[in-house]
């Protein structure tokens, strides 16, 4: 499945500034693993050994994956996955001023 991952500003240092990444994945887990393969280190920021970190929300389209099937949530073609900090703290160096 061809999906789009939306990257929050604090992680854009790892994606060379990209705010969106297009990749192939059938589940959220695959999407994050593929992201890690492209941008080493990013998975640790999103997940710990128990799954998605407590202070990070991952949305499959409009739905928080905690209310779906967590990392095993299946994705369809053209789905949009958003990684959103649970809070609104610091942003990233890519934001302009």
Partner 1 sequence: MEASQDSAALSGQGRRYPSVIHAIGNTPVVRLQPLERETDGAHIYLKLEYANPGGSVKDRAARQMILDALAGGRLRQGVTLIDSTSGNTGVAYAMIGAALGLRVALVMPANVSAPRKAIVRAYGAELILSDPMLGSDGAIEHCQRLVDAEPERYFYCDQYANLSNPKAHWLSTGPEIHAQVGAELTHVVLGLGTSGTCMGTTRYLRQHLPHVRCLALQPSEALHGLEGLKHMASSLKPAIYDEQVPHEHLAIDTETGWDMADRIARETGLHVGHSSGANIAGALQVAKAHPNARVLTIACDRGDRYFAPLKWERNYTW
- Contact residues for partner 1 (CB under 8 A)? 6, 8-11, 13, 19, 45-46, 48, 53-57, 59, 62-64, 66-67, 82, 84-93, 95-97
Q: Which is nearer to partner 1, 37 or 84 (CB)?
A: 84
Q: What is the DSSP letter of 40?
A: T
Q: Which is nearer to partner 1, 6 or 78 (CB)?
A: 6
Question: Residue 84 and residue 95: Cα distance in Å, rounded?
Answer: 16
Query: Could you count the other beta carbons within 10 Å of the beta carbon of residue 78?
Result: 10
Question: Residue 29 and residue 13: Cα distance in Å, rounded?
Answer: 22
CB of 63: closest distance to partner 1 in angstroms?
7
CB of 3: closest distance to partner 1 in angstroms?
16
H-assigned helices in 39-97: 42-46
* Residue 67 tokens, joined: 């209310």
Q: Which is nearer to partner 1, 2 or 66 (CB)?
A: 66
């Amino acid at each position: 499945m061809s999906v789009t991952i939306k990257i929050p500003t604090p992680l854009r240092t790892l994606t060379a500034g990209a705010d969106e990444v297009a990749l192939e994945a059938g589940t959220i887990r695959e999407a994050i693993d593929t992201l890690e393969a492209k941008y080493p280190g990013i998975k640790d920021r999103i997940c710990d050994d128990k799954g998605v970190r407590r202070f990070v929300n991952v949305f499959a389209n409009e739905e928080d994956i905690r209310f779906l099937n967590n990392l095993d949530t299946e994705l369809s073609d053209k789905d949009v996955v958003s990684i959103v900090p649970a809070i609104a703290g610091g942003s990233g160096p890519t934001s302009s001023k």
